[in-house]
Structure 1
Amino acid sequence: MPEYLWTDRHFDEMSWHDCNVHGLRVVEGEYGAGELILDLDYIVEWLCEAQGCSFRIVPATLRFLEVTNLRLALDYASPGAAMGPFSIHAIERRDEPRERYVAQVWNIAINWPKGEIAFEAKGFEQRATGAPVVSAAQCLRPDERGNHGQAG
């Protein structure tokens, strides 16, 4: 299996559009900061041809470092949605001046169901947890993900 590892230096080359999140963990760290970890199906490549698209997907763990000021909003109730993975629209980051520091503010826009995850973090690391799979769907089946995506 090729090693897939992405960090802050890859941010501008990456897209999380339509990536499905199967698990979310908050891990306590030092001095009130922690980690936000998302288990997701990362779409490495969109393979589009005249007859339609398929997707090269790798199960991955996206870990945000030294997270503070976390806000989560996911609305499964309004659309009457069944519980299942949520889908990312985009991940954005920007620098904002604070009284004693410049914060790196992150926003994860959720396209289904409606929602958003916002926080400050020092950066991220994303690592593949399995082999890439080519699929007609944008979400891997549990047997394609292995034991990954089990937040806990």
Structure 2
Amino acid sequence: MTSTWTETDFDSLGWHDIHVHGFRIVEGEHGVGDLWLDLDYILEWVPPAAKGGAFRFRIAPASLVFRDVTSLRLALDYATPTASMGPFSLDGIEREPISFDNGCNSFRWAINVNWPDGEMTFESPGFTQTLSGPIIESDAQYLTDAERNGDAPVA
């Protein structure tokens, strides 16, 4: 099984209901930086074994790193729903190709947050997503701290 993906794999990946535990910005040269997202990546939605049953999920901790990021906008609203602090959940990631007058090509990215309300937008030529822990099968769409830290049984 693949454990690393890039922007060339974008059409085969999905980020719906992915939970993000943290993010950071790593300063680069010439005004760009890398945007790191620490997430629980759902590798597979496992259909119910019986009619009326619930889906299960094959999940692994992962790092999603967008490189050479510019024009970052970030909005997360935990105040309006009076939500407690916790991982936020993605609706998905969209991209749009862009070309600059100097001949360089890149993408305009939109990371849509479905809970709490929010969005990240930025420009970046691409990303690398790497699994950083074991794959775990779960009833939930996210991992517990014990599962993320390798203290729980694997699938």
Report the 3-state secondary structure (helix = DSSP H, G, I; strand = E; otherwise coil) of the residue aligned with 1:108.
Answer: strand
2:49 is the counterpart of 1:46:
no
TM-score by length of 2: 0.90
Report how many aligned residue pairs link the two structures: 146
Shift of 1:112: 0.2
Report the 3-state secondary structure (helix = DSSP H, G, I; strand = E; otherwise coil) of the residue aligned with 2:68.
Answer: strand
Of all paired residues, the percent bearing the same amino acid is 49
2:97 is the counterpart of 1:95:
yes
Deviation string 1:21-68 (CA, Å, 9 cap, x unpaired) is: 001000000100000000000000000123110100010000001000
**C-alpha distance in 1 between matches for 2:3 and 2:128:** 11
Q: Identify the residue that residue 25 of structure 1 maps to in structure 2.
A: 24
Alignment of 1:1-152 (within 5 A): 4-49=3-48, 50=51, 51-100=53-102, 101-146=104-149
Report the 3-state secondary structure (helix = DSSP H, G, I; strand = E; otherwise coil) of the residue aligned with 1:30.
Answer: coil
Name the aligned partner's letter for residue 43 of structure 1.
Answer: I
Structure 1 runs (4+) deviating above 2 angstroms are 96-103
Name the aligned partner's letter for residue 87 of structure 1.
Answer: S
**C-alpha distance in 1 between matches for 2:10 and 2:106:** 17
Shift of 1:98: 3.9
- RMSD over aligned Cα atoms: 1.3
**C-alpha distance in 2 between matches for 1:75 and 1:86:** 10
**C-alpha distance in 2 between matches for 1:62 and 1:30:** 20
Deviation string 1:114-136 (CA, Å, 9 cap, x unpaired) is: 00000000100000110000000
**C-alpha distance in 1 between matches for 2:47 and 2:19:** 19
**C-alpha distance in 1 between matches for 2:131 and 2:105:** 30
Shift of 1:96: 2.7
Report the 3-state secondary structure (helix = DSSP H, G, I; strand = E; otherwise coil) of the residue aligned with 1:80.
Answer: coil
Name the aligned partner's letter for residue 11 of structure 1.
Answer: F
Higher relative contact order (CA 8 A, sep 6+): 1
